[in-house]
Chains A and B, each alone.
Chain A
């Protein structure tokens, strides 16, 4: 934020707060409030006076704000001038002559305490016709926007779809793009606009304990969705509905123990197409306890470099830590990182950590590189073996070996370098789930799932994939990859794919 933006920040903050206050007081009578005037130069407020249930503003306030001149002649007519254009008002008449053209007003001008008051609509019906810049009066919000500013109106709706799922819908009108990210205690929806026009809180506090406890405005362009103790995950979708841009947050929560599991979910009352249903978290799952996350490269092995010096080893470690934090916080599973600092870990040690700890899933994180700077997109790799290797793995099996104290037992022999051959089907299943989670959130390569003889996957004795998050050799994508927004989004997508994979392994689950 630069010095020029600081007054604007405070101004718009005040605007949002005042809008919230106005909304809170709107049910009271008589309202005593002000009209917020928002422009590139900042924010001003002019008082609103109620006269016979009509909202009026003082003409001299408008004079100061818009550099008008006001003259009252002997017959009582009021002439408002702006750059050679005139508006003539007549006491006791709900009309105005704007450059010779008559327009109606909801009420005639009113004189109070030696000041002329004009109906609020004077601004949109008369002043807007002569003023240089666009004047957008939003009476419900008590907001006047001067000039071409992007200030969409936000409306929100919260629906409980089932005991474990809910949907929050936020419409921005006119359309405005937004980005959803996850923080520790809340989701933030940041809009790419000058300001947002919304009451705060956007939604009243939700009954506790819930998935969401409230939705509020935290800064002039950002909405915060406060997460309740049952929150387990979310998926966001953006779609266009008429003149609005709609953000749909599908939220999932842990099922409460006293919730009736056989109760069918109520039909969704949504009016717009929503994203596919997401699985309920916290359902009984199979023995799926440990996940190994491999942050690719490290130490002297820096991996791919971007043109401005970003390193693959740093990106992979950051995303690995974020994935670990999300999984541990939401699922309570054990997460192993093959490295949690900047050091080089030999390839075999990475898989050995997963194998020795009997991890149920192995995910190796990487960033890609190409000889061509325009190559872009994320991709997911599974291991690939040649026919001889697959055959060798197939012929391996149990051997009867003597045990301590006499006797013998069957010991399963797994060829270290071919351990992954037994898990390829599940690895590909997980790759598909991950690809679906990535698809709408991060740029994908034209072929997003591939097989290759990748060293780090071959020895993994569990389902295993290698994720290429994108191309650091592509300058635009490098900036994206190193951003918090991307890293959180990727971590969230990986987390949700893990949830789905875990459920597919549960009794009755399918891949």
Chain B
């Protein structure tokens, strides 16, 4: 009797483990579709939490202002592609000090990152990305390709990025670059 009960418990435990594993494997996509976890995005001004790090290439405005320049940085390791994407974007939009100049307007915060199975990333940024943007075609190109290239260069699984603002799709940031579709990596804007 005892052995029959033990067998039942063992079977249930096995099913639970299998289901748990399946859920875990699907977790990045499912959790990314959930309500954005603002708390998961590290504070841009805070130093990276201690722990495992990865090297990533982040992009800033070059000295001549005409292109982006890549800078290698240690950023926090993220468990799964979505978490890693979130860490990369958070590090990319964090305030910087001279001589670095960011093409992302100050005050912009990360709301959420979604990844699709097709390799498209949706990066939802706060409204400051538009309201604090100084305008100009080149400025806008550099802002957009800072985000697009930060993900496509560092995460091979991401092939294109669409920027959302305050949870919504936008036509442009300041009247120039078409943001209605995901944009592919473009190193033409990098020195």
- Interchain CB contact under 8 A, A371 and B66: no
- Within the complex, which residue of B137, B171, B172, B180 is in contact with A368, where a contact is CB–CB below 8 Å? B137
In chain A between 377 and 391, which residues have their CB closer than 8 angstroms to a CB of chain B?
379, 381, 386, 389
Mostly, the B contact residues are loop
Q: Is B101 an interface residue (CB 8 A)?
A: yes
Q: Is B47 an interface residue (CB 8 A)?
A: no
- Interchain CB contact under 8 A, B178 and A369: no
User: Beyond A347-B172, A371-B142, is A468–B66 a contact (Cβ under 8 Å)?
Assistant: no
Q: Mark B164-187, 1 if CB is under 8 A from A, else 0.
A: 000000011011111011011000
User: Beyond A372-B101, A471-B136, is A452–B175 a contact (Cβ under 8 Å)?
Assistant: no
- Interchain CB contact under 8 A, A473 and B175: no
Cβ–Cβ < 8 Å partners of B178 in chain A = 453-455, 458
User: Beyond A304-B136, A371-B101, A371-B102, is A452–B65 a contact (Cβ under 8 Å)?
Assistant: no
- Within the complex, which residue of B61, B63, B177, B184 is in contact with A455, where a contact is CB–CB below 8 Å? B177
Q: Mark A469-487, 1 if CB is under 8 A from B, else 0.
A: 0011100000000000000
Chain B contact residue count (CB 8 A cutoff): 28
Expressed in whole angstroms, the Cα–Cα distance for A198 and B57 within the complex equals 64
- The residue of chain B having its C-beta at the shortest distance from the C-beta of A296 within the complex is B175
- Interchain CB contact under 8 A, B137 and A452: yes
Task: Kindly provide the distance from the CB of A425 to the nearest chain B CB, expressed in whole angstroms.
Answer: 19
The bracket for how many chain A residues form the interface is 35 or more
Q: Mark A290-301, 1 if CB is under 8 A from B, else 0.
A: 000000110001
Cβ–Cβ < 8 Å partners of A368 in chain B = 136-139
Task: Kindly provide the distance from the CB of B66 to the nearest chain A CB, expressed in whole angstroms.
Answer: 6
Task: Give me the interface of B with A, judged by CB distance under 8 Å.
Answer: 61, 63-66, 101-103, 134-139, 141-142, 171-172, 174-178, 180-181, 183-184, 188
Expressed in whole angstroms, the Cα–Cα distance for A386 and B181 within the complex equals 10
- Interchain CB contact under 8 A, B136 and A347: no
Apart from A303-B175, A304-B136, A372-B101: 20 A-B pairs, beta carbons within 8 A: A303-B135, A303-B136, A367-B136, A368-B136, A368-B139, A369-B136, A370-B65, A371-B103, A371-B142, A372-B65, A374-B64, A379-B137, A381-B137, A386-B181, A450-B188, A454-B137, A455-B171, A456-B175, A471-B136, A473-B136
